[in-house]
Amino acid sequence: MYAPSVVSANPKASDKAQMRLFDSEELVKQAEKYLSSINSSLKTIEAPGTLDAVADTTAIGEAPTVDSFTIKRQPALPPVSVLGPAVRPANTLPDTDASPLQIWEGRVLSVDSERHVMEVLLSAKLNKVPDHTGEIDLEWVSEQDADLVRPGAVFYLTLYKRWKRTTVENSQELRFRRMPSWTKRQLQQVQQDTRMLLSKVRAAPTAE
């Protein structure tokens, strides 16, 4: 499971800038390896593997049903360098538990620069919750992710409940998925698949 960037409590303007980012899926995998190496009691979600795996097992048009999961942190965290410079460490404190209320996989439908909002389609990853649309102020998007905001971009909005000693706080995290670049192997695969597709085509006869 990804290490959440537990930002401060209820949404305020200052909080909106404190968003955790992953530059690539590779860094995400590093984070997962890192977490499992430091915390033997870490519980991942009760569904196949990581968040992306959950996404990839999505049945036709449906989010997988995952009832609940909890992320538990050990007090001491290894240095940031394990994760690489682009990933900031989780801003957690000792004796802190964070439970996600919901993970929304979002897709940007459109961007309104004048109103400074992006229209989004949200699909829930936990429990069977219908898809919703709405608008998110672009202030919620960190500077590092600003270049990713365009129609079709995918992001994850995680809503947490965080217990900090005797208090409970709400927090949230919005991060965009940064797609990798086309590789030579993938381009070769595309060429191969194109030839395969064209070999199967037959023109329908012309009607009289």
Q: Which residues bind other proteins (CB under 8 A)?
A: 10-11, 55-56, 59-62, 101-102, 104, 109-110, 117, 119-122, 129-137, 140, 150-154, 157, 159, 170, 172, 174, 178-184, 186-187, 189-194, 196-198, 200-208
- In terms of CB distance, is 32 or 105 closer to other proteins? 105
Pairwise CA distance, residues 123 & 62, whole Å: 8
- In terms of CB distance, is 34 or 155 closer to other proteins? 155
CB of 10 to other proteins, least distance (A): 7
CB of 149 to other proteins, least distance (A): 12
CB of 201 to other proteins, least distance (A): 4
Beta bridge partners of 82: none
H/E segment holding residue 99: strand 96-112
CB of 136 to other proteins, least distance (A): 5
Among the listed residues 139, 166, 160, the one whose alpha carbon sits nearest the alpha carbon of residue 9? 160
CB of 145 to other proteins, least distance (A): 14
- In terms of CB distance, is 77 or 138 closer to other proteins? 138
- In terms of CB distance, is 82 or 121 closer to other proteins? 121
Tokens of 12: 């305020």
- In terms of CB distance, is 76 or 114 closer to other proteins? 114
H/E segment holding residue 158: strand 154-164
Structure-derived torsion over alpha carbons of residues 89, 168, 76, 172, reported in degrees to the nearest 10: -10
Residue type, 200: K
Neighbours of 54 (CB within 10 A): 20
Pairwise CA distance, residues 113 & 8, whole Å: 27
